[in-house]
Each structure stands twice: as C-alpha cells, then as structure tokens.
Structure 1
Amino acid sequence: MNEWMDHPMLKNMDPVKLELIRSAASKTKGKSGKALAPVMMALITSANKKGIRFTPDEMTMIISILKEGKSEEEQARIDQMLKMMHGMLKK
C-alpha cells in the first residue's frame, strides 16, 4: 500500500516536504474524497508556514498518493473536488 515511498521523485526531495507528504498520506487513509480537501489545505498551509512551496509535479504526486487504494468512483470524486479547489484558488 505504501509503494509511493519508492517513487523516484522522493529520492532527492527535501526531508521537510517528505515528512509533510507522509503526514498527509497517513491522515487520508480510509477517508473519502470530501475529507481530502481539509488535508490538502492543511498540507499547503503547513508548507507555506515553513516557507516551502511544492512544484506542480510534486503536487501531482501528492494527489496520486492520496488517491492510492481508493475506488475508481472515489478517485473521480477526488478529481472533482480538486478541480473545485483549483477554481476557488484562482479567484
């Protein structure tokens, strides 16, 4: 279930970013798409407070991690929620 920890992008990642990702992954285990929004916002807020910015590739990887083990239907809900969040952040 934690194959994501072997992802090549993680090999050279800042340890602080890596810890934030691990924390987000553990907080989302067994949760639905609706519960992911606050976790993602907390991840971004926590990173910002530490002066850390995730690259688009890193954010894509994080989303993939959060979707791990979820049904296709649940993954679609997560994608829909992320689109709404993205739209709200652009405004």
Structure 2
Amino acid sequence: MDEWMNNPALKGIDPAKLELIRMAAARTSGKTGRDLAPVMLALITSANKQGIRFSPEEVSLILDILKEGKSKEEQEQIERTIRMTSSIFQKHMQ
C-alpha cells in the first residue's frame, strides 16, 4: 500500500511535506476520484496553516501518487475532479 513512498521523486521533498502527503495518502486509500478533492484541499490548507507551500510540480506528484493503483476510470475521474476544482487549489498554492 505504501509503495509510493519509494518514488524517487520524493527523495528531495521536505520531511514536513512528506508527512502531509503520507497523511493524505492514508485518508484517500480506497476512495474514488470524487472523494479526493476535499482531501487534497485539506492537505493544502493544513500545509498553509503550517507555513508550507506546495509547488505545482509537488501537487502534480501528489496527484500521481494518489492515482497509483486506481483503475483507468478512477484515474480519469480524479483528473476531472481536479480540473473542476483547480481554481481552488491554485488559490491555496504558492
């Protein structure tokens, strides 16, 4: 379940960000694309309260991690959900 933690792209990420990502991954386990938007927003909001900002590249990496192991249909649903809520995410990023 935690194979995503071995992703080489995570090696350079701040440990505080990595912990937030780990928490988000745990909360999204078994959820569909529609349920990911509130989790992502909570992740970004929680990070902001701690003075942590995710770059667009980091958000993209997080989404890739959250899509791992999902069916093609679920991955497409995640993409649609993120597109619909992207303005909210952009407001809370850098």
Calculate the aligned-residue CA RMSD, in Å. 1.6
Q: Are 1:80 and 2:80 matched, yes or no?
A: yes
- TM-superposed CA distance for 1:66, in Å, is 0.9
Provide, for residues 26-83 of structure 1, a one-character-per-residue CA deviation record: whole Å limited to 9, x for no partner. 1001001111011000000000000111111111110011111111001101000000
5+ long unaligned stretches in structure 2: none
Amino acid at match of 1:27: R
Could you say which residue in structure 2 is the equivalent of 1:38? 38
Q: Are 1:65 and 2:28 matched, yes or no?
A: no
- TM-superposed CA distance for 1:90, in Å, is 6.1
Give the share of equivalent positions with the same residue, in percent: 59
- TM-superposed CA distance for 1:12, in Å, is 2.1
Q: Equivalents in 2 of 1:45, 1:72: separation in Å?
A: 28
5+ long unaligned stretches in structure 1: none
Q: Are 1:5 and 2:5 matched, yes or no?
A: yes
Moved over 3 A (4+): 87-91
